[in-house]
Structure 1
């Protein structure tokens, strides 16, 4: 059977923005806190999204690596050794690790140790964590967040109306009303074409070492659970006519991190929550990621110095709604758990731990499942 071709219609365009809830906050923080070049970040994301959308032909996401991002953003003032260069060093180390896992076949073999119940728990926990983070963001403007969430749910029941595009328009209007000077600042934006510089020659061995120890290695368990196991299962469940393998996902993760670090970008992965967000708002093919990638490419090449200002058009309440509904979509994927008590226990316990730490959740799920099956623990 021939896999469907990419579509470039209104539904795909609406679904393209379903992952903004993680993209915008992390990118904005990297630019403002870590002082990274927005041109490199956006060019890396844009080019990878276009390629991934054309190759996978599903709404396969390209996201910031969250553990690395959180550490870099929160500790860049506390630890003088964490700089933009160490972030790029972490990208090189991450890329090499995932290329090694793909080339040796270890990515596929490792995932075979993860039982179905543990996988479902990870997916459920990721969904919970997205919903909790979305709730926190909506809580910054509770009445607005509640109204936008209710309106979006109503629009999602009407397939002819692109809920995401309506949400973004309303969010932009709210941002302008709350920040009267924003409109005049936006009108002053001018096109300023430029390319990012090649970053590798400026990196040192210390950048690679610190990036590996403080950023890349702590990220590995999260990437393994969310951006390898969960995304592969989610893609193949939603789009069985366009399946992916763990080896292929690991390979693309490695390549895109090497490319991103080379042009001054940030570590990236394929997160299951990103696909959930794209699908929730209408995406069904790779056309969604191609269109979003093209937009980010244009911004990176022509408007890089104005990105932080443009992002102010997306209030936290809007991003919170997007994150919350992506979490709902993701958590619903765990509904097919088996009826055995031990499987229900592994799903729920793994989900609870995944809200805290996905890497620990994966390890717990594997050990608890096999230990209970052998009678080593009781529930």
Structure 2
């Protein structure tokens, strides 16, 4: 969560105070409303696309507002049936592409780290190799020991920000985002991949894992409630310049594995974020000044976890081809809209290829 907040702040010029404040309100509100530990996370497809192309703040806010309106619009339909029509392999292609972009952006940030700024040693090694090694180690330890090392790393980064960071030092330099009028092509690039992810992962997937982990607790996690939460929440957040957010099955799983079994964990997280927002407001800081080594490490580690989400598709007959194709498009273009389009074409091709192959066998 924190590295994506930092990139939204630095790349798209969001107020660090408003991002933290809106995140706090969303965490507290989600816990009180849903009555279970409910994740609140940045809209990853939008945040990562904004990071890769340098989308402006207004473009990100308009995209979040459009997604919110779309979620509210979906409440009049049978969302379960609609979500079932989205192939799981298509979602996995988007997740793999997001993972690839996260890793490549993390490596790019690693190149720019000046360790002397943080009071460490001289530059006598490859930043990329060191950060990548640390990221892989964190992922490995998290998988083996079932301990939320990424959350610990993120918290250490925030503590660094609170007590040792230089307010005049910014982790990322924004050279792409502008304050000009929103570009329609950029908004489409931000919104369309996010719609597929939100419907399948943030709504259907979240309801599924909540029932699996917290089924014995009386809660309000229903399809329409999730759509209303993401819908109205993003519209309001877009109006004030707050966090473009969603819920997510992966986030709920992280809460559960971290030991959260009551919605009070949301309240604790919310209070912590409120404290951070107050500190930023008091210091008069605009950008969310998150340490670059932590940003790069967490982006790469999160990207690796995203790659792992596609394992079920990788094990299918044509899944490897679909995922490799999505990966290549992501590596060479960093364009999530193009990834979505190519992946849809691949789904159509293999659908008719399989159907024709089946008919030939029957004949």
TM-score by length of 1: 0.64
Rounded to whole Å, the distance in 1 between the matches of 2:159 and 2:229 is 38
Structure 1: distance between partners of 2:90 and 2:81: 16
CA–CA distance in 1 between the matches of 2:107 and 2:50? Answer: 22
Report the number of matched residues.
Answer: 320
Q: Look up the match of 1:372.
A: 353
Given candidates 24, 29, 35, the residue that maps to 2:6 is 24
Residues 134-178 of structure 1 deviation map (CA, whole Å, 9 limit, x = unaligned): 3333344336525633663575477497634663577589889xx
Partner of residue 24, structure 2: 46
Q: Which residue of 1 aligns with 2:298?
A: 322
Residue 223 (structure 1) shift: 1.1
Retained in 2: the 8 A contact 1:46–1:294? yes
Shift of 1:99: 1.0
Task: Tell me the secondary structure at the aligned position of residue 303 of structure 1.
Answer: helix
Alignment of 1:230-309 (within 5 A): 230-232=201-203, 234-235=205-206, 238-239=209-210, 240-242=212-214, 247-270=224-247, 278=254, 282=258, 289-301=266-278, 303-304=280-281, 306=283, 308=285
C-alpha spacing 1:367/1:271, structure 2 compared with 1 (3 Å): farther
User: 1: CA distance between counterparts of 2:304 and 2:161?
Assistant: 26
Cα offset, 1:88, TM superposition: 4.4
In the alignment, does 2:113 pair up with 1:136? no
- Give 1:225's match in structure 2, choosing from 181, 190, 196: 196
Q: 1:23: Cα distance to partner?
A: 1.8
- Cα distance in 1 between the residues matched to 2:104 and 2:249: 16
- Give, in whole Å, the separation in 2 of the partners of 1:344 and 1:185: 46
Q: 2: distance between equivalents of 1:24 and 1:59?
A: 22
Secondary structure, aligned partner of 2:312: coil
Q: Which runs of 5+ in 1 are unaligned?
A: 1-18, 77-81, 177-181, 187-206
Q: Alpha carbons of 1:262 and 1:233: their partners in 2 closer, same or farther (altered >3 Å)?
A: closer
State the distance in 1 between where 2:47 and 2:139 align: 32
Q: Tell me, what secondary structure is at the counterpart of 1:57?
A: coil
Give secondary structure in 2 for the equivalent of 1:368: helix
The change in CA–CA distance for 1:330 and 1:247 in structure 2 (over 3 A counts) is farther
Distance in 2 (CA, whole Å) between partners of 1:44 and 1:222 is 24
Matched, 1:332 2:303: no
Alignment check: 8 A CA contact 2:18 2:242 kept: yes
The offset of 1:238, in angstroms, is 4.9
Secondary structure of 2:85's aligned partner: coil
The aligned residue for residue 124 of structure 1 is: 96
For the Cα contact (< 8 Å) 1:350–1:364, is it kept in 2?
A: no
Paired with 2:265 and 2:110, the residues of 1 have a C-alpha distance of 25
1:261-282 CA-to-partner distances (Å, cap 9, x unmatched) read 3333253334677668x46983
Give the superposition deviation at 1:260.
0.8
Cα RMSD (Å) of the superposition?
4.5
Q: 1:364 to 1:48 in 2, by over 3 A?
A: farther
Which segment is superposed worse, 139-148 or 154-163? 154-163
1:97 matched to 2:76? no
- 1:322: how far off? 1.7
